[in-house]
Amino acid sequence: MTQVLIDSAVRAAELSLIAVGLSLTWGIVRFANVAHVQYAPIAGYLTYFATISLGLGLLPAAILAIAATGLLGLGLQRWFFQRLASSGAASALIGTLAVSIVITAVIQTVAGPRPRALAVPLTAGFTIGDAVITRTQILIIAITAVTLPLFFGFLWFSRPGRAIRGVAVNPQLAEASGINTRRIRNLVTFIAAMLAGLGGILLGLDTSLDLNMGAMLLLPVIAATITGGIGNPAGAVIAATLIALAENAALGINFGALVGGDAYLPVNYRPAVGFLVLILVLLLRPEGIFGRSGRRA
Amino acid sequence: MNLRTRLSTLAAVTTLALLSACSGQSATVGGSAKEPASGGNAAASGDTINLGAVIPLTGASATIGEDQRRGIELAVEKINANGGVLGKKINVIVEDSGGTAASALDAARKLTSANKVPVVIGEYSSGVTIPLGQFLQQQGLVHMNVGSSSPDVAKIGSLSFSTIGLDTIASKFTAEYLHRNGYRKAALIAPNNAYGSGVADTFKAAFEGLGGQVTNTVLYTEGQTDYRAELQRLRGGSPDVIVYSAYGQESKVLTSQAFELGLSKAVPWFAIYLSMCTADADPRAVEGQLGMDVNYIGPDGKSYEDAYKAKYNQAFATTFSGYAYDAVMMAAAAIEKAQSTEPQQIAAALKEIGKNYSGVTGQIAFDAQNQRSDQPYAVLKYTGGKLEPAN
Amino acid sequence: MLDFLLYLVTVAAIYGLLAISLNLQAGVTGLLNFGHVAFFGVGAYATGIVALHGGHWVLGVLVGIVAAAVLGAAVGRIGRTLAADYWAIVTLAIAECLRLIATNETELTGGAQGIGGIAGPFTGLSTTAASIGWIVTALGLLAAGWWLAERLTAIQFGRVLRLLREQPLLAESLGHNVTGAKVRLLMIAAPIAAVGGSVYTMYISFIGPNQLLPIETFLIFTMLIVGGMGNTSGAILGALAVQLVYTGTRFIKDYLPIPAESAGSIRLLLIGVMLTAFLMFKPSGLIPERLRRVDARH
C-alpha cells in the first residue's frame, strides 16, 4: 500500500507539471497542442548536453535548459502555431503534430536512438515499512511541492496571473478591459513550456532520457488535462493525482479474491488505465470533472 | 492546379523515383560508413562476392549489433587476406534492422532484390530473426542465425542455419547449475518476445523437471524506461534466486532499479548470458552478480581474440561477435566448397562443413535441423567491471 | 532491381488505399481520426490470427472487413457530441488500447513477437510470379478504392459529408442525421483500410504490434496534407510522394556519409519537415480540392 502511495506521488508530480501548462495554454489558445509534451524530453536532453558538452553542474544545466525550453515554446507559438490557429483548430492540431514529429526526429538525430542517463549516482533507496523510496523520488516530490504552490500563487495573487485567468475565461472581455491578450498568450506559453521542461528533467532523473518520453506522456497528460477541465490548472493537478493513483492501484490490487489464487493485472496494461479514464471522461463529461463550459460539437 | 504545375510535380516525383531506384551501392563492412562503397550489386559480379547481414545497429541491442558487425568485419578481412573466395574478394553488406521485424524485413528486401545476395546473416533478437528467416526461406535464400536462441528458430526451414546454440541447451545448463547449488525457488524475468518467452518456457521445464519451483514469470515490455512495477512482482512467492535475461538498455534500467529497490541485495540474481545483461549496466548495480554465458574454446579462439583486441583496442565488448565471425567464415568456406554462389548449393555445402567445424566459438556441429547441437557454456561472475569465471 | 521497384510500387499502392480511407474520413467529412491505424490493424491482425489458427486467407480478409466496419460504427457513434479535436484524441486513445491488447494477449495475437509466416494468395509461387501477382492486386484494389471514393463523394451523400465538415450545426438544423451519416461513412472507409491491412500483412507475411504505433497514422495524415486533403487523387499522389521519400532515405546512406544509425531519424525528420512545409506554404496540398460549382437551378 505504501509503495502504491509513493509511486503515485512521484507519477502525479511528473504528470502535474506537464498537464498544468497544457491545461492553461489549451484554455487560452483554444486548440490542443500535442507538441507540448515534447518540451519534457527537450529540456531533459538539453540538460544532458549542457552537463556533457559545457561541463555544467546538474542544477545550472537544468536552469539553462528550462529557460531555453520556455523560449522555444514561445517561439513556436508566435511564429507557427498562431498562424495555423487562424485556419481553425483542426489545422493547428495537425501543425502541432508536425512539430512533434520534427522534435522527436531532431532528438534522435542529435542524441541517437539509445536512452541517456543524467549523471546521478546510483544509491540504494530508503525503506519505509515494506516500500522503498529513492533519493531522486524524494527530490521530485519536494521540488514539485514547492513549484506548484509558487505557480498557483502567481496565478491567483499577482496582476499578470489575474490577467491570465481573465483571458482564459473570457478573452473578448479581457481585451476590452485593456488586457493585451497577445502578450498574455505568449507569457502563458513561456511558463507552460518551462514547467513541462522541469517535469521532463525530473522524469529523466527518475528513469532515463528517452526518445519516446513525449509519446508516452501524451495520452496520460491529455487525460489529466481534460479530466480536470481545460483551462483549469488546479483541476489538472487533482486529475493527475487521481490518474496516477488509479494506475498504480490497478496494478497493485490482487484480484485473487474474484478469480481465485493470485491474480494481478499484467503490468503491461498500465497505460490502459489512463486511456480508459480519458475515453470515459470524453464520453460522459467532456468538460471535465471541474470544468466550466462544455465543448460540444 | 494548372497543367504546368501538374507536369512539374510529376517530373519531380519521377526524378525522386529514379534516384531512389538507381542505387546499386550500399554501406559495406570493411571500414566505417564513411568509406566509399565498393561496387557491384549482383552476387558475383565483377571481382566481389556479396553477402548480406541484417543486424541491430540501432535500438536496445545496438551494443551487440555493433559487436556483431565487428565479427563480420574481422572475418571479411581475414578471408580477403587469404586470397578471398573463388578468387574474388568477399564483401558483406550490412543493413540496420532497427531492432524491429518490420524494418529488418525491409532491409532484407533491399538486400535480396537490389543487391541479390545468396546468404543473409542475422539478426540478434529471436523476435526479429524468426520472421527474417521465414522470409529468406520463402525466397529460397540461405539464412544464418548468429544471435538468437529461441527454440522456434529451429523451425524456420532447411535453408536456415545457426552458429549459436538455442535456449533449450542454455536453460538446461542454468537449471542444472542452480539446482546443484541448492536453489529451489526461482523467479524469472525476461523480455516479452520470442526470445524471452523461449527462455521462460525452457527454463521452467528444465527447473521443474529437476524438482524446483518457478514462483513467478514476468515478461517485460521492451523499450520502457521504468520497470519498478515488474520488479515488485518478482518478490511474490519469496524466491531464493531471480533468473533474468535482458538486452542492453533495458538491462541497465532493470538492474539499476533493482538495486535502488534493494531487490538485488535481498535475493541473488542469476543472468542468462551475463555479458549481454551487463554490457550497458551500471557497474555498481551488477557487482558480484553471477550468470552463465557462452564460452570461447577452440584452436582459433585465441588468435581471434588477439585480432579483435588489436583492431578495436579493447577486450570483447560482448560475447556475440564470434558467432557472426564464424558464420561469415563458414559461408565463405561453403561457397568455396560448392564452387558456386547458388543458395541451394551453398546450403548443401554448409551442411557438409557443419558436420564438424572448428570455429572461434568452439566446435560447431549442426544437428538435423541445422542448429548447433552443442555449445560450451561457463558460469561467470561480474567483478570490478570484468567477467571472471566463478569457482 | 526490378523486384525492388515492384516492391516500392506495391507498398505505395497499399498506402494509397489507407490514404483514400483517411481522406474519406478527415478530408471529406472532417473526421480527424488520429487512430486510423486501428482500422489497418484490425484487417492485418484478422488475417494474421486466422492464419495462425490455420484458416484460409479469404476468411481472414472477410473477418477483417466485418470487424473494421463494426469498429467504425462504434467509433462513429462515440463521436456524436464531440468537437473535432476531442474526437481525434478519443480515436487515438482507442487505437492505443488496441495496440496494447495486441502486444499483451500473446495467445491470441502472438504478443510483442507478432505473427510470422502468414500465407496469402500467391504463397508458393516463384518470387517473380508472386511479385507480379501482388502488384496487380495492389493496383487493382487501389483503382477499386479510388472508384468507390469518387462515386461516394459525387452523389448526394458526398455533399452531405462535406456539409458536415464545414457546417455541422447547419447540417443538423437542415434535418440531416449527422451521427447516422458519420457512422455510414465510417462503415465504408474502415473496411477499405482493413483490406489494405490484410494485403500488407500477406505481402510481407508478418504483422506485429509495432506496426500499429501512432506514427503510422501521422504518416498517412502527411500523405493527405501533401497530396491535398479532400480529394481522392490527392490522397494517392501524397501516398506515392511520401513513400518515395520514406524509402529513398534508406539509400541516402549509400551516397552520403551518414552513420547507419541516423537513417531512421532522418527519414522521420524529412516527413516532419514535409508536413510542416506544406502546412505553412501550401496547405491545400499538391492537388487542391476542386469545389463544385453550386447550380442555382436545382
Mind spelling out the 3-state secondary structure of C202-213?
HHHCEECHHHHC
**What is the C-alpha to C-alpha distance for residues B370 and B375, in angstroms, rounded to an integer?**
14
Quick check: A295 pLDDT over 70? no
> Coil, helix or strand for C249?
helix
CA atoms of A51 and A127, how far apart (whole Å): 31
Q: By the 8 A CB rule, do C248 and C11 touch?
A: no
Residues A126, B251, C212: CA angle, nearest 5 degrees: 115
pLDDT above 70 (res B197): yes
Spatial strand order of the sheet with B185-191 comes to: B213-220, B185-191, B241-244, B269-272, B290-294, B377-383, B386-389
H and E: helices and strands count for chain B: 14, 14
> Is the minimum CB–CB distance between C272 and chain B shorter than 8 Å?
no
- Determine the residue of chain C that is closest to B96 in CA distance: C260
CB contact under 8 A, A207 and B253: yes
pLDDT on residue C254: 66
Range in A66-80, A102-116, C223-237 the model is least confident about: A102-116
ipTM of the complex: 0.85
Does C109 contact chain B (CB < 8 Å)? Answer: no
* Cis preceding-peptide flag for B250 (omega within 30 of 0): no
What integer is the mean pLDDT of B352-376? 87
Q: Give B-chain residues touching A267 at CB under 8 angstroms.
A: 218, 220-221, 229-230, 233
pLDDT over 80 (residue B106): yes
Q: Tell me, what's the pLDDT at C69?
A: 96
pLDDT level of residue A291 (50, 70, 90 thresholds)? low
Distance CA B187, CA B214 (A): 6
B-contacting residues in C 63-82 (Cβ below 8 Å): none
Rg (CA), chain A: 19
Candidates B193, B197, B226: best to mutate against A (most CBs of A within 10 A) is B226
SS3 B272: strand
Mind telling me how many Å the CA of C118 is from chain B's nearest CA? 10
- Per-residue pLDDT tens digits for B224-277: 778 888 898 898 888 999 999 997 678 888 999 999 888 888 899 999 988 888
* Best CA proximity match to B276, nearest among B113, B149, B111, B142: B149
For residue B308, what are the CA distances in angstroms to A40, B163, B297? 41, 19, 16
Give the model's confidence band at A27: pLDDT under 50 very low, under 70 low, under 90 confident, else very high.
confident
- Residues (pLDDT < 70) of chain C are 1, 79, 124, 126-127, 250, 253-254, 258-261, 291-298
Identity of the amino acid at B252: K
Q: Which residues of A touch B218 (CB under 8 A)?
A: 267
Q: Is the dihedral of CA A141, A147, A150, A156 positive or negative?
A: negative
Residue C119's pLDDT is what?
80
**Averaged pLDDT, A276-293:** 79
**Which pLDDT score, from 0 to 100, does residue B29 have?**
38
Task: Give A112's contacts in chain B (Cβ within 8 Å).
Answer: 58
Q: Which chain B residues are closer than 8 Å to C251 by Cβ?
A: 19-20, 23
Q: Distances in Å between the alpha carbon of B245 and those of A252, B62, B192?
A: 24, 16, 11
Give dist(CA B94, CA C239) in Å, integer.
29
Question: Is residue B259 less than 8 Å (CB to CB) from chain A?
Answer: yes
> What is residue B22's predicted lDDT score, i.e. its pLDDT?
35
Any chains having at least 3 CB pairs less than 8 A from chain C are A, B
Among B363, B331, B382, B381, which residue's Cα sits nearest to residue B142?
A: B331
Give yes or no for residue B315 having a pLDDT over 50: yes
Q: Of the ranges A85-99, A240-254, B1-15, which one carries the lowest mean pLDDT score?
A: B1-15
Query: Closest approach of chain A CAs to the CA of B237, in angstroms?
Result: 10
- Residue B40: list chain C partners with CB under 8 A: none
| pLDDT higher than 70, residue B32 | no
pLDDT value at A56 more than 50: yes
Residue B317 CB-density burial (10 A; 0-12 exposed, 13-18 middle, 19+ buried)? middle
Higher per-residue pLDDT: C65 or A258: C65
Instruction: Note whether A201 contacts B: Cβ–Cβ < 8 A.
Output: no
What is chain B's mean pLDDT, rounded? 82
Q: CB under 8 Å to C56, separation ≥6 — which residues? A: C50
pLDDT at A297: 33
pLDDT at residue B42, as a whole number: 43
Residue B194 has pLDDT above 70, yes or no: yes
Contact B242, B267 (CB under 8 A): yes
SS3 A276: helix
**pLDDT score for C55:** 87
- C237 and B134 within 8 Å at the Cβ level: the answer is no
Q: SS3 for B124?
A: coil
- Residue B15: band (very low, low, confident or very high) from pLDDT cuts 50, 70, 90: very low
Are residues C8 and B13, on separate chains, in Cβ contact within 8 Å? no
d(CA A139, CA A123): 14
The pLDDT of residue B63 is above 90: no
B285/A122 touch (CB, cutoff 8 Å), yes or no: yes
Q: Does the distance separating the beta carbons of C206 and B105 come in below 8 Å? A: yes
Q: Please, which pLDDT band fits residue A292 given cuts at 50, 70 and 90?
A: low
Is the model's pLDDT at A252 over the cut of 80? no
Cβ-based burial of C140 (10 A; exposed 0-12, middle 13-18, buried ≥19): exposed
Question: CA–CA separation, A123 vs B224, rounded Å?
Answer: 21
**In sequence order, which residues have a C-beta less than 8 Å from that of residue B136 and are 6 or more positions away?**
B108, B112, B120, B142, B143, B159, B160
Q: What is the DSSP letter of A38?
A: G
CB of C123 within 8 Å of a chain B CB? The answer is: yes
Q: How many residues does chain B have?
A: 391
CA distance B46 to chain A (A): 36
Q: Hey, which chains touch B, using 3+ CB pairs under 8 Å? A: A, C
pTM of the predicted protein model: 0.81
Q: Are strands B241-244 and B185-191 parallel, antiparallel or unpaired?
A: parallel
A261 band by pLDDT with thresholds 50, 70 and 90: low
Q: What is the predicted pLDDT for the residue at A90?
A: 78
Tens of pLDDT along C102-111? Answer: 988 888 888 8
What is the pLDDT at residue B78? Answer: 93
H/E/C letters for each residue in B94-109? EEECCCCHHHHHHHHH
Query: Rounded to an integer, what is the distance from CA C175 to the centroid of its chain?
Result: 31
User: What 3-state class would DSSP assign to A65?
Assistant: helix
